[in-house]
Amino acid sequence: MRDREVWRLRIVPAATLVAVAALALVPLATGEGCLPFCEVPSHTTGGFVPPVTLVGAGSTLTWTSLDTLPHTASATTLDLCLHVTYSKTSPGSARFDILDGTLVVTMPGMEPKVCTGAEALPDRSLRLDYVCFYHPNTMNGTLLVK
């Protein structure tokens, strides 16, 4: 069991980097949805699957739970511009837009929020890292909005 845990800790960061590199090679124009999908399944042990999602500006992303625990998709930035709660019976979603080079997140029933902490990348996409508040060690991901 211990050996298996150590193996997981070593392999996850490498897998994340490979996923980032693979997605970065795929062009995604605005309004073309998300890659690989606009739905991010997740669970406590495996995190967000996959951990990196490429989001076309104007697209709505939905998080679903594969286990029975409550989860969140919450920006790691101080402004907490993304904070979606969800569970197996109640998926959570948010829409992502880029206005004047700034990432704007709109959650259902709320005013749009500006993500001042999103990182602008050289290809003009915006990077937002996020975690589950309850399981930040195993559930952490990245959104690349373009």
Binding site for Cu ion (CB under 5 A): 71, 132, 134-135, 139
Least distance from C-beta 143 to Cu ion, angstroms? 17
Distance CA 92, CA 64 (A): 7
Q: Least distance (Å) from Cu ion to the CB of residue 44?
A: 6
CB of 62 to Cu ion, least distance (A): 16
State which residue, 22 or 80, has the beta carbon closest to Cu ion. Answer: 80
Nearer to Cu ion (CB atom), residue 62 or residue 134: 134
Q: How far is the CB of 86 from Cu ion (least distance, A)?
A: 9
Closest residue by Cα to residue 46 from 144, 121, 140, 143: 140
- Of the pair 89, 100, the CB lying nearest Cu ion is at 89
Q: Which is nearer to Cu ion, 98 or 132 (CB)?
A: 132
Taking Cα atoms as reference points, which of 42, 59, 46 lies closest to residue 12?
46
CB nearer to Cu ion: pick between 139 and 145: 139
Shortest CB 109 distance to Cu ion, Å: 22
Please enumerate in sequence order all residues whose Cβ is within 8 A of that of 37, keeping only pairs 6 or more positions apart, or say none. none
b/e code 49-88 from CB counts within 10 Å (16+ = b): ebbbbbbbbebebbbbbeeeeebbbbbebeeebbbbbbee
Do β-strands 126-131 and 119-120 pair in parallel, antiparallel, or remain unpaired? antiparallel
